[in-house]
């Protein structure tokens, strides 16, 4: 029997958080090995296990996978979260890439210089409410189904709901005008595996704080 996947990353959200969400939604228990010191970071640069000398890296099924999208796609395929055919997978990938663009803006927001933070926050809110959320609302409205593709939970739904939570941390009213997105968030959040992941004490990571940024600087800068 294969062991639990082992996630190699620092003790924070970053690009690993979407992988945590996907594994948790699939009901997969996982272990984590955190980068906690400058020595840990230097070890990665000299360890062939870390292809391209980078993380996220996930040990799973005898492999050591890097590159976030490759990891997400493998987990999705393995746990039947990737559609039933090529057309559905293409749509799932398209939606997931849109979500990734939005999440990338949120990911780098905490490390923006103070003098541009207000501008960057306004940009995130504007694009979420006027570009990304209307597009996904339209998809759900176009077919009237519970999920984005094929009326079955997929990678795209899970990553979108993660993004909804992320944006709401910055703007609590972000999805007020999007009833279908609200319903999707409720539906996915109510799944037993996701509900467990959203509980305090889970392996879900908290929002970035100034203290966390200072600790990260000691490692990476």
- Tell me the pLDDT tens digit for each residue of 109-136: 988 888 999 999 999 999 999 999 999 9
Same-domain pairing of 121 and 184: yes
**CA 61 – CA 86 distance, rounded (Å):** 24
Residue 143: partners with Cβ closer than 8 Å, 6 or more residues away? 151
Range of the domain at 69: 6-79+197-209
User: Does any domain span residue 49?
Assistant: yes
148 neighbors 91 (Cβ within 8 angstroms): yes
Q: pLDDT band at residue 2, thresholds of 50, 70 and 90?
A: low
CB contact at 8 A, 106 and 180? no
Cα separation, 97 vs 156, whole angstroms: 9
At residue 214 the predicted structure's pLDDT band, cuts being 50, 70 and 90, is confident
Q: Are residues 147 and 171 located together in one domain of the fold? A: yes
Distance CA 161, CA 21 (A): 10
pTM of the model: 0.95
168 and 203 together in one domain:
no
Order of all β-strands in the sheet with 31-34:
31-34, 6-9, 57-60, 63-66
pLDDT in tens, 22-52: 999 999 999 999 998 888 888 888 888 889 8
Whole-number Å distance between alpha carbons of 18 and 9: 12
Count of domains for the chain: 2
Q: Is residue 148 part of a domain?
A: yes
């Amino acid at each position: 029997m294969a062991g639990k996947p082992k996630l190699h990353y620092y003790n924070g959200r970053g690009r690993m958080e979407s992988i945590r969400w996907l594994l948790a939604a699939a009901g997969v228990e996982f272990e984590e090995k955190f980068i906690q010191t400058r020595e840990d970071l230097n070890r990665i640069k000299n360890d062939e296990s870390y292809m391209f000398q980078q993380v996220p890296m996930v040990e799973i099924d005898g492999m050591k996978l890097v590159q976030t999208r490759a990891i997400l796609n493998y987990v999705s395929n393995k746990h039947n979260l990737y559609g039933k055919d090529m057309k559905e997978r293409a749509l799932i990938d398209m939606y997931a890439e849109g979500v990734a663009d939005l999440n990338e803006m949120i990911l780098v927001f905490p490390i923006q210089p103070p003098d541009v933070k207000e501008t960057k926050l306004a940009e995130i809110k504007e694009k979420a409410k006027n570009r990304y959320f209307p597009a996904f609302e339209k998809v759900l409205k176009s077919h009237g189904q519970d999920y984005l593709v094929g009326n079955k939970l997929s990678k795209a739904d899970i990553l979108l709901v993660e993004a909804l939570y992320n944006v709401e941390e910055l703007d609590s009213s972000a999805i007020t005008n999007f009833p279908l997105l609200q319903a999707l968030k409720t539906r996915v959040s109510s799944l037993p595996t996701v509900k467990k992941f959203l509980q305090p004490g889970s392996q879900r990571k908290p929002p970035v704080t100034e203290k966390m940024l200072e600790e990260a600087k000691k490692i990476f800068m």
